[in-house]
Amino acid sequence: MLQPCELSKNPRQMELRPHGTAEFPCGGYDTAVRQEEGGIAWHWHEEAEMLFVTEGMVQVCLPDCHWSLKTGEGAFINANVLHSLQAEGEGGRVRSAVFHIRLISGGSDTVFYRKYVSPLMEYSGIKGLRLSPEEEWQKSMLEEVRRTTALLEEREEGYEWEVRSSLSRFWSILYSNTRPKAAETQRQSIDAQRLRKMLELIWKEYSHPLGLEQIARAANIGQRECLRCFQRTIGVSPLQYLLRYRVSQAAALLRETDLPVAEIGIRCGFDDPSHFAQTFRKYFLLTPSAYRKGRV
């Protein structure tokens, strides 16, 4: 069965709940959005999200727009975009899939990422999109949302292949109907190339000591431009992203392995166990040991 969306976030509104697993980063949810429960509070995550309303009415809120959705309508919310879900009238219910883009891109060095994903994901060109069944191409996207959540609910043998295929079709339709013009993305293209190199360094070397200078050097730019590049694209500093990535990898190991907590800290770049515990608690509001117990 699909689980309800239950938020755990840090003071910067970043959601800390992992979606899926490190090997298959996609989670499916079935959530009631009720006025008395406060809806789904403002938050953001590194993953993209697609949803549709199965009953009642729900308002999807982004910083610069609000969409009132009735049964059968849906929305796409891009990665790293602040958003919330509020009840309209008596409220409603939504089914959603939250997925990391690497599941369909195959990594940042592929044609899929460079040509189709990066122009839409890394920047604010498209923060989100209301999906109406009255628009033929959006109707097709809604069908993929329904298909994806059904696959995540049933989890039959081979469902991972089918989910990946459905997400790819969803993104292909999105790209075909919203892709920006080349002239509008020249600055973004430069940032995309730089960001890709810096993120690849972080993903590969996060378990080792890393500083701002090393991260900037990966893209052959200065430290100030490195800071600006991260702020322009994903809205956090390089070291904030590195810390968040280390903690998220530690959370995955706590859920999926029986490794000692201290060893997990070392594997994720924390030499001091007390520093690891303190940092983990800052993000998850639990110690690593309590987090592991809560996931059993």
Classify 14 as helix, strand or coil: strand
Specify the length of the chain in residues: 296
Above pLDDT 70, what percent of the chain? 89
Identify whether residues 116 and 223 lie together within a single domain: no
Identify whether residues 194 and 165 lie together within a single domain: no
122's tokens: 């890394």
DSSP string, 193-253: HHHHHHHHHHHHHTTS---HHHHHHHTT--HHHHHHHHHHHTSS-HHHHHHHHHHHHHHHH
Looking at the domain assignment, is residue 20 inside a domain? Answer: no
Nearest to 42 by CA among 24, 60, 18: 60
Identify whether residues 125 and 157 lie together within a single domain: yes
Identify whether residues 75 and 166 lie together within a single domain: yes
The answer, yes or no, to whether residue 289 has pLDDT greater than 90, is yes
Instruction: Give the H or E element holding residue 98.
Output: strand 83-99
Comparing 60 with 296, the larger pLDDT belongs to: 60
Residue 242's pLDDT is 92
Query: Domain boundary residue among 130, 154, 178?
Result: 178
Identify whether residues 166 and 32 lie together within a single domain: yes
The confidence band for 296, taking pLDDT boundaries of 50, 70 and 90, is very low
Q: How many structural domains comprise the chain? A: 2
Residue 231's pLDDT is 82
Identify whether residues 171 and 221 lie together within a single domain: no
Identify whether residues 240 and 160 lie together within a single domain: no
Query: Domain boundary residue among 153, 178, 203?
Result: 178
Residue 125's pLDDT is 59
Looking at the domain assignment, is residue 4 inside a domain? Answer: no
Query: Domain boundary residue among 178, 208, 236?
Result: 178
Window from 25-29, 87-91, 212-216, 234-238 with minimum mean pLDDT: 234-238
The answer, yes or no, to whether residue 184 has pLDDT greater than 70, is no
Comparing 160 with 45, the larger pLDDT belongs to: 160
Q: Which residue range is the domain that position 72 belongs to?
A: 26-178
Looking at the domain assignment, is residue 138 inside a domain? Answer: yes
- The mean pLDDT of 245-254, rounded to a whole number, is 88
- The mean pLDDT of 173-191, rounded to a whole number, is 70
The confidence band for 189, taking pLDDT boundaries of 50, 70 and 90, is low
Nearest to 98 by CA among 58, 175, 44, 155: 44
Residue 14's pLDDT is 73
The confidence band for 11, taking pLDDT boundaries of 50, 70 and 90, is low
Identify whether residues 74 and 157 lie together within a single domain: yes
Looking at the domain assignment, is residue 16 inside a domain? Answer: no
> pLDDT tens digits for 266-277?
999 999 999 999
Looking at the domain assignment, is residue 202 inside a domain? Answer: yes
Domain CATH for 165: 2.60.120.280
Q: Are 251 and 284 in contact (CB under 8 A)?
A: yes
Identify whether residues 31 and 141 lie together within a single domain: yes
CB-count exposure of residue 271 (10 Å: 0-12, 13-18, 19+)? exposed
Report DSSP state, residue 4.
P
- The mean pLDDT of 89-93, rounded to a whole number, is 90
Looking at the domain assignment, is residue 12 inside a domain? Answer: no
Domain CATH for 232: 1.10.10.60
Identify whether residues 209 and 158 lie together within a single domain: no
Residue 56's pLDDT is 95
Comparing 202 with 11, the larger pLDDT belongs to: 202
Residue 52's pLDDT is 97
Identify whether residues 248 and 284 lie together within a single domain: yes
Comparing 231 with 78, the larger pLDDT belongs to: 78
Looking at the domain assignment, is residue 13 inside a domain? Answer: no
- The mean pLDDT of 64-78, rounded to a whole number, is 92
Classify 245 as helix, strand or coil: helix
> pLDDT tens digits for 119-129?
887 545 578 99
- The mean pLDDT of 160-182, rounded to a whole number, is 89
The answer, yes or no, to whether residue 188 has pLDDT greater than 70, is no
Residue 183's pLDDT is 44
The answer, yes or no, to whether residue 138 has pLDDT greater than 90, is yes
Q: How far apart are CA 202 and CA 243, in angstroms?
A: 10
The answer, yes or no, to whether residue 7 has pLDDT greater than 80, is no
Mean pLDDT across the chain: 87
Window from 32-46, 115-129, 147-161, 233-247 with minimum mean pLDDT: 115-129
Q: How far apart are CA 263 and CA 72, in angstroms?
A: 48
Looking at the domain assignment, is residue 11 inside a domain? Answer: no
Identify whether residues 135 and 205 lie together within a single domain: no
